[in-house]
Amino acid sequence: MPILVYHNNSADGVKITPAPLVSVSTQILKNGAGEPFGVTYAITLTGTILDDKGSPHALDGNGAKYLAIPGNAFNTAGPYGAFSKASEPTQQQIPAGQSLTAILSKQKSLRALFARDGQRLTITDWGGSQSAFTCYPRVLSVDFQEGVYVERADYTITLEADTLLIGEGDSVASKIENEGSLIAFDGTAREGKTEADLLASLSGAFIADFSEDWSIEADEAQGESVGLPRSYRISHNINATGKTHFGPDGKQRAWEQARKFVQNRLSGNVDNYPNIMGQIGSGTLNLVDTYRGFNHVRSENLSESAGSYSVSENWLIASGNAYENFNLSISSSTDNPFVSVSIDGNIKGLAEFSPSGFGGSDPNTLGGRNPATAPSGAYDNALGKYHKISNNGQFGLSSDAYKRANNSVAVQLNSQPQSVSLGTNEYTGEVTYNLQFNNRPTNIISGVLSEQISVSDTYPGDVFAVIPVIGRSTGPVLQYIGGRTEYKRDLSINLVMDYTNVAYGSLRNPLLLKKPSVVEPTATQIANLIKELSPAGEPGIRKYFVSPPNESWSPKEGTYSFNLSWTYEINR
């Protein structure tokens, strides 16, 4: 069974004679779960070198070949020109006492022949017409057994290969042994595949080991709502150690193999992102059907010297697309008739983008994806969450924000907040808010932010004269002249309109024609309110008179006031 070694992958192979014995063992590589992900062939060459026969040829102390026995000719190549290319054996004349030198020179030549990884090695039949297999092995060891080295020396050369190529195997189109096509995706050996298939179409990678794990944990610091007070985090770690692979196409570096394996193992289809919950069993967590992953962060670690590559991924998972935290405080005092409830909240949106983000440079196309169906960003989701809890900023009885405040006290709160403060941060995808609710009465006039109604009644008093007296130490003389003063009622209405009633132009419309006493329905509501508060409809009123009303309108500020006085007389 001749051995052909193509030193430095040259065109001509050199022979080792006497031909060593060849042993090939196959190790199927499996992870801890028993999943096969590759194969390693251990090739052991066990042979003997003779002082005066075979290849490599013996060299004297000066590096010159010992003479060939007449009738033989040298046809050599390889390290030191010491290896035979011909099939005929060559015998040399070794002077007496120089057998040790001859054997040591042959050991040196063998070490030089196997001094580098990835050299083509072919095992042929005895006739040399058929090749059993070819490989491009890594050299693990070259060992020479101890001895006197007078006539012979035994040796063992241990090699390691990832694939065995059928036939000459001098191109990437060479077919490989079936078990060499094992890859980690399904552990299936594929018949008739080539080295090129394994490197390309099968997405194969030559690795020594890999590990992959998933974990899920609760995050008590964040929640989606009152009903979902906690959030969850998912971590995914995958690590691979590659093998430096040699083949007809040259060297494949270990870290590149590890990276190729890991990246092919990862789910790279953004259309399926972030539906990663299938990786976690439902079990007691029961999150698979309703939760999705957000804020996908991926970190990579590469070590060229160790030939390893790892990726760590983290997701926040939620049934919605934003987290919210809020603090609620209640205050009341003896100098204020109203109970006040304050809500300070923070909404953090969750991004649905993959770690690569939008992709492309045009934000309007989102890397070629349809903007209408593309995943939304953290800020959009945070803003959407605020609109949801605030009823699009309209609040009212059905809004979540009002329900939170109202359920915290025993009184009925006004459904419109007394004040609203909103802060946004598009870069971090956050919305902060402060809402102040109290139990003030519901507004009578629609379309106003606040209203103040003040009614002042002046009742009759004595009619008297004040007569000054010069030098009187007790002051003027008060003289009752009979009779009583009139009844009087003063009404003051002050309104602050919302932005729809603020004048943004400089013409008569909207400066005057948006005045609350002109537009409906506020005009009718103000008129009805004045009617209800006037003394005209009260019993016992004989007659009344209206003083000139006063109306004030600030169109740029949206403030409006109306002042009116009545003087009336009652029956007696």
Q: How far apart, in Å, are the Cα atoms of 228 and each of 76, 89, 232, 325, 344?
A: 81, 85, 11, 11, 18
Which range has highest mean pLDDT (266-270, 279-283, 400-404, 535-539)? 400-404
d(C-alpha 144, C-alpha 437), whole Å:
91
d(C-alpha 180, C-alpha 178), whole Å:
5
- What is the distance of C-alpha 240 from the center of its chain? 21
Q: Which two tokens stand for residue 351?
A: 């991004």
In the chain, what's the furthest Cα-to-Cα distance?
167
What pLDDT is attached to residue 319?
A: 77
Nearest to 22 by CA among 157, 166, 165, 113: 157
What pLDDT is attached to residue 267?
A: 59
What pLDDT is attached to residue 255?
A: 92
Sign of CA dihedral 172, 173, 178, 182: positive
At 41-77, the pLDDT tens digits run 999 999 999 999 988 999 998 989 998 888 777 888 8
Q: Which two tokens stand for residue 274?
A: 């972030």
Q: Which two tokens stand for residue 273?
A: 């992102």
Q: What are phi and psi of 252, to 5 degrees?
A: -110, 115
How does residue 402 score in pLDDT terms, banded at 50, 70 and 90?
very high
Q: What is the CA radius of gyration of the chain?
A: 48
Does residue 370 or residue 570 have the better pLDDT?
570
Burial of 462 (0-12, 13-18, 19+ CB in 10 A): exposed
Show the beta-strand stretches assigned E in 445-486. Answer: 448-458, 462-467, 477-484
d(C-alpha 401, C-alpha 418), whole Å:
13
At 65-74, the pLDDT tens digits run 998 888 777 8
CB atoms within 10 A of CB 254: 24
Q: What are phi and psi of 156, to 5 degrees?
A: -135, 125
The residue extents of the domains of the chain are: 3-161, 207-318, 327-442, 449-570
Say what the pTM is. 0.65
Does residue 226 or residue 433 have the better pLDDT?
433
At 322-335, the pLDDT tens digits run 888 889 999 999 88
d(C-alpha 19, C-alpha 331), whole Å:
98
Average pLDDT over all residues of the chain: 84
Mean pLDDT of 549-561: 91
